[in-house]
Amino acid sequence: MQTTVESLQGATEAVGPVELSLVVPVFNEEESVGPLIDRICSAMTAYRDSWELILVDDGSMDATLANARLHVDRAGLALKIVALQRNFGQTAAMQAGIDTATGRLIATMDGDLQNDPKDIPSMVAELERRELDLLVGWRRNRQDGLLLRKIPSWCANYLIGRITGVKLHDYGCSLKIYRASIIKQVKLMGEMHRFIPAWVAGVVPSSRIGEMIVTHHARQHGQSKYGISRTFRVILDLLSVMFFMRYKARPGHFFGSLGLGLGAISVLILIYLFFDKFIMGNDIGTRPMLMVGIVFLLSSVQLITTGILAEMIARTYYRDDTSPNYIVRQVFEATEKG
Class of domain 5-246: alpha beta
Pick the closest to residue 20 from 178, 208, 186 (CA basis). Answer: 178
163 vs 57: CA distance, rounded Å: 33
- pLDDT score at 10: 39
CA distances from 235 to 88, 242, 305, 319 (A): 21, 11, 27, 32
What are the tens digits of pLDDT across the range 204-215?
888 899 999 998
Which is higher by pLDDT, 10 or 287? 287
- Phi-psi map region of 209: left, alpha, beta (phi>0 left; psi -120 to 50 alpha): beta
pTM score: 0.73
- pLDDT score at 152: 67
What are the tens digits of pLDDT across the range 124-178?
999 999 999 999 998 887 766 566 566 667 777 777 777 777 888 888 788 999 9
What are the tens digits of pLDDT across the range 82-129?
999 888 888 889 999 999 999 999 999 998 888 999 999 999 999 999
pLDDT bracket for residue 7 (50, 70, 90): very low
Cβ(152)–Cβ(229) below 8 Å: no
Percent residues over pLDDT 70 in the chain: 80
Q: Is the per-residue pLDDT at 78 higher than 80?
A: yes
Which is higher by pLDDT, 248 or 20? 20
Q: Is the per-residue pLDDT at 235 higher than 50?
A: yes
Cβ(64)–Cβ(92) below 8 Å: no
pLDDT bracket for residue 193 (50, 70, 90): confident
What are the residue boundaries of the structural domains of the chain, listed by start? 5-246, 251-319
Please give the average per-residue pLDDT across 306-335, as a whole number.
69
Average pLDDT, whole number, for the chain? 82
Q: Residues 6 or more apart from 248 whose CB is under 8 A from it? A: 314
Fill in the amino acid letter for 309: L
Lowest mean pLDDT among 55-64, 218-227, 239-248, 288-297: 218-227
- pLDDT score at 9: 40
Taking only Cα atoms into account, the Rg of the chain, rounded to an integer number of angstroms, comes to 26
What are the tens digits of pLDDT across the range 246-284?
777 788 888 999 999 999 999 999 999 999 888 888 888
